[in-house]
Structure 1
Amino acid sequence: MKKILIATAVAASFASIAHAQSSVTLYGTLDTSITYTSNVNGGHQWAVGSGSTDENRFGLRGVEDLGGGLKTIFTLEEGFDTNNGAQASQGKMFSRQSFVGLSSQFGTVTLGRQYDAMQHFVSPLSATGSWGGANFAHYGNLDHLDKNSQDAASNSIKFASANYSGFSFGGTYSFSNSSQFANNRAYSVGAGYENAGLRVGAGYAQQNNPNATSGGAYNNLDLNNIGLTGVSFRQRQFGAGATYAFGPALFGIVWTQARLDNVTGGTGSVHTNNYEANATYNLTPALGLGIAYTYSNGAAEDAHFHANQVGLKGDYSLSKRTDVYVQGTYQETSAPAGSTINAVIDNGSATGVSSTHRQGVASVGLRHRF
């Protein structure tokens, strides 16, 4: 009888140890606002917005300690609309992220649907990728820095290095899962450095024939934001940026370039350069202000255009998890006589291209994180 009791106690102790070494965390964000948008189909729009700053989401994040510094990690994350409960992406249960992998002292290797190196290293340095959300995205979000737009890559292998005295690097390769190996595949590389209040990042990403196949790396890039529907092209993004924090202030600069070659369903080629300066300042521990200015220039075939965008935001924390905010963004474009390049504030891809060369978006919202 004693042997049975001892064996039971030992088994229970091992079970508790195994349980202590594994964890699964439920997390998410609820963000709802009243949003005004100008020049939508020739008029103005008032709407209950969903995810003006952060896309509404819920997710599961897990880790299991395998011993010797090796861990299994996974993330499953889906976006949704708080106004009607609909999934952000029809046909996918976890459209934002869904991956599993291994983590060690050297870094992590993960497989599944994930963000690329531009989104990993450059996006957090921009207003749209940190505190501003979709309304602060660069022209048309062609550089994919706004991660609220479901621009993760499927079928991806991703490596993210450990932190070596502030330096880190990584990359992704996303398979087409097609007999035409290069059709709808993607890859990216990037690196970053952090030291005290300084943070620097750079990245490159390329997609070959995105949206061409339903099972490939991409099938939902933000082409409709600028009126494009074609698939037979190559899309590339380059970018670099830096932020510096001291006291209650943070300043940042970001440059990105997006190139779309041989586009069908629109102009033959499109390229844009975006130059952003952003800043935040905490007036009190609860009240923060943010501002971002972006100048964009580019060309659609022979039509060169310019865009100026400025965004402002005020945020007040009611608790560690809940805050209220007010924000506004204004964009104006210009192009040669005879060319039409309308404004397009990403706005969660909710309204599409402005009906004129001007557009403004303003939101008052409530956000809760859990």
Structure 2
Amino acid sequence: MKWFAPLALMIPSACALAQSSIEIYGITDAGINYLSNAQSGRIGTRLNGNARWAFYDGSVGGQQGSRLGIRGFEDLGGGYRALVRLENGFSLQNGAAGQGGAIFGREAWTGIEAPYGQITLGRQYSAIVQFYAPILAAQQWAGYMSAHPGDLDDASKTWRINNSLKYTSPVISGWQFGGVIGREGNSGDPGSDAVWSVGAAFHEHGFRFGAGFLSAAKPNTSFFGSNVNSAAASANNMGSLGSLSPESNPVFGSYASAQSLRILALAASYTLSRATVALAYSRTDFAKLGSNAGPNPFRYTGTASFDDIELSALYQLTSRFDIGTNVNYLRGGSVDGKANAAYTTATLGAMYFLSKSTDIYSLVVGEKAAGTDSFDQPSVAAITGMTPSSTSFQLAVRIGMKHTF
């Protein structure tokens, strides 16, 4: 075995020469949720509901969904690096994989980083997630419960773009921009199920700005149907009306027949000392309803448009204790003469950091609904990630703990 010693010495030298790195990382988020009213189904036209207490993973109203990931790079020389990221979402409740059971359902991509930017290919987030979403309260501290109703503007990482090519520029004088294009690949007509997104951001001297735009053809399958267990266009990947079971996504669940989806999103924030205030706006259009992109039980036609505005504030009381508040107003969805729906959502949050890696937190979210929702019924409150209410009001409370590694 004398040959083994010099061979062993060569291994770290080779690794050093390649300058490669592989890192395993993750988040666990667990907590107890209280929901003042959760649908249990319906009798005739009347929705039933009752209060509920339960243990949930962070993906159900927590600050962040639990995940386990692998990221790595290899230095290729001359300012070039090979990159890879594989990220799995899972539930602490039972260990099940998230995102429809995909082993790497959150992200799965590889690519090249160069002096002129980064190019990656795989299952990736839109430019709205990359440039607009980081300014919102949901992504910073308030969690999925405070996300815009139904996450209709793609700001809370509910959906991904499959088979995608993405470019991200380097930061230039505080500015960064990028875009991504992909398609689900279920159609023989190129572009018939294409999804593309572009965006830009600026961050300097306490001021932050982010903007994104997304366009999806036949969004029921190309965007909302991007998980491995999603159904074909004959079924609805955006929501369900429910009868014996609770409804799913009454905000826009019946707009699956839209020929196209368009989202424009803008946000800005300013940080001064310990305080940060932010303002965000988005416009979401489900256009050309009545196409063959998905089921249309109410025979809608035309375009259902939503406008969303958010105002939030975060204050650092001490080096370990933060408090935040957020108010969001969503209005729209009028189509074929039915009244607009309106959702007003308010959030209060408190976070105490036990260490750089672990914090305990509490979130209180209340939502009031009005008008007529996509299921052509009096709008019910539907706090994002929660079972919708059977009434126009819903209150959710969570106490949780998050650990990053």
Q: TM-score, normalised by structure 2?
A: 0.83
What residue number does 1:60 align with? Answer: 70
How has the CA–CA distance of structure 1 residues 10 and 46 changed in structure 2, closer, same or farther, with 3 Å as cutoff? closer
Confirm or deny: 8 A CA contact 1:156 1:217 kept in the other structure.
no
CA drift at 1:270:
2.5
Q: After TM superposition, list the pairs within 5 Å mapping 1:220-369 onto structure 2.
A: 222-223=238-239, 224-226=248-250, 227-228=253-254, 230-261=256-287, 262=289, 264-266=296-298, 267-268=300-301, 269-301=303-335, 302=337, 303-335=339-371, 340-347=378-385, 350-351=386-387, 353-369=388-404
Q: CA deviation at 1:245?
A: 1.0
Q: Which residue of the partner structure matches residue 18 of structure 1? A: 17
The letter for the 2-side match of 1:235 is L
The separation in 2 between residues aligned to 1:33 and 1:8, in whole angstroms, is 50
User: Which of 136, 151, 163 does residue 141 from structure 1 map onto?
Assistant: 151
The 5-angstrom pairing of residues 174-253 of structure 1 reads 174-177=182-185, 178-212=187-221, 219=230, 222-223=238-239, 224-226=248-250, 227-228=253-254, 230-253=256-279
CA RMSD of aligned residues (A): 2.6
Task: Give the 3-state SS of the residue equivalent to 1:130 in structure 2.
Answer: helix
1:22, distance to aligned residue in structure 2 (A): 0.4
SS of residue in 1 equivalent to 2:100: coil
- Aligned counterpart for 1:167 among listed residues 175, 194, 218: 175
Equivalent residue, structure 2, for 1:44: 51
Q: Which residue of 2 aligns with 1:74?
A: 84
2:332 maps to a residue whose letter is: G
Gap regions ≥5 residues in structure 2: 40-48, 232-236, 240-247, 291-295
User: How far did residue 354 of structure 1 move?
Assistant: 1.9
Supply the AA of the counterpart residue of 1:70.
Y
Deviation at 1:295, TM superposition (A): 1.3
Which structure 1 segments of 5+ residues have no match?
Answer: none
Equivalent residue pairs, number: 361
Q: For residues 8 and 189 of structure 1, what CA distance do their matches in structure 2 show?
A: 49
User: Structure 1 stretch 313-322 or stretch 256-265: which is displaced more?
Assistant: 256-265
Shift of 1:100: 0.3
Q: Distance in 1 between matches of 2:191 and 2:12?
A: 52
Residue 228 of structure 1: CA displacement?
2.8
Percent of paired sites with the same residue: 31
Letter in 2 for 1:50: D
Structure 2: distance between partners of 1:143 and 1:312: 22
Residue by residue over 1:120-149, the C-alpha shift from the partner in whole angstroms, topping out at 9 and shown as x without a partner, is 1110111112221111111221111111x2
In 2, distance between residues paired with 1:59 and 1:247? 34
> How much has 1:182 moved relative to structure 2?
2.6
Give SS of 1:251's match. strand
Are residues 331 and 13 of structure 1, via their aligned partners in 2, closer, same or farther at CA, if it must alter by over 3 Å? closer
Aligned letter for 2:280?
A: V
Cα distance in 2 for residues equivalent to 1:215 and 1:112: 17
Alpha carbons 1:176, 1:215 under 8 Å: kept: no
Q: Give the TM-score taking structure 1 as reference length.
A: 0.91
Native 8 Å contact 1:75 1:99 kept in 2: yes
